[in-house]
Amino acid sequence: MEENAVNEMRDRVFTEGKKFGRIMMVYNSAIKEIRTKLEVLNDEFQMTWDRNPIETIKSRIKQPMSIIEKLKRKGISIDELGLASLNDIAGVRVICAFVEDIYTVADMLTKQDDIKILECKDYIKNPKPNGYRSLHLVVEVPVFLSDRKQPVKVEVQIRTIAMDFWASLEHDIHYKKNVANTKEVSKELKKCADIIYATDIHMQNIRKMIQTEESEDKA
């Protein structure tokens, strides 16, 4: 290959890489916007109700190769328009203590006038066949750059500590190779998911009992 052709290819790779990096920076900025909103809401809730509905907040940007592979599977062009068609490039996971806190957090977040709800999937009221439970939201949040305001999609998953524990273990087990009796394993995982959800509800009811007693003592 001639030196000019090599230099031209190198420059093109550099330019495309820099462009992709800028796009990822915008998605990362969207994550920061969502995290900040959630942290402020959590602090306000603490001041008002003397407790935090949010235990932890996790976030991630989808890896470049995962993005490219997903676009190829969907037959979508690998460009800025193709990237915009994906909902899960930027992800935020919110971990709550109690089931009712999930809906409280979702309501507080989506009521903000600069948040646009694009999609809502309630896998708590309607769990997946394997037992998976979580509330999934795809929202659009504005990112303010030096020359423009850009709306960016962020997938927000909200679940309890117990639901997150189950999902993490299920993921590890599901992707193990050469697992014998996969049907039996799936059946047992489903049982665990149901037990965990029942425990979530039981713990929530215990908290309500304590709150009722505290209210009666103050009266």
CA distance 108 to 43: 12
Residues forming the active site: 155
Letter string b/e over residues 45-82, b meaning 16 or more CB atoms within 10 A of that residue's CB: beeeeeeebbeebebebbeeeebeebbeeeeeeeeeeb
| Residue type, position 135, single letter | L
Please say whether the beta carbons of 183 and 166 come within 8 A: no
CA distance 48 to 218: 17
CA distance 141 to 21: 19
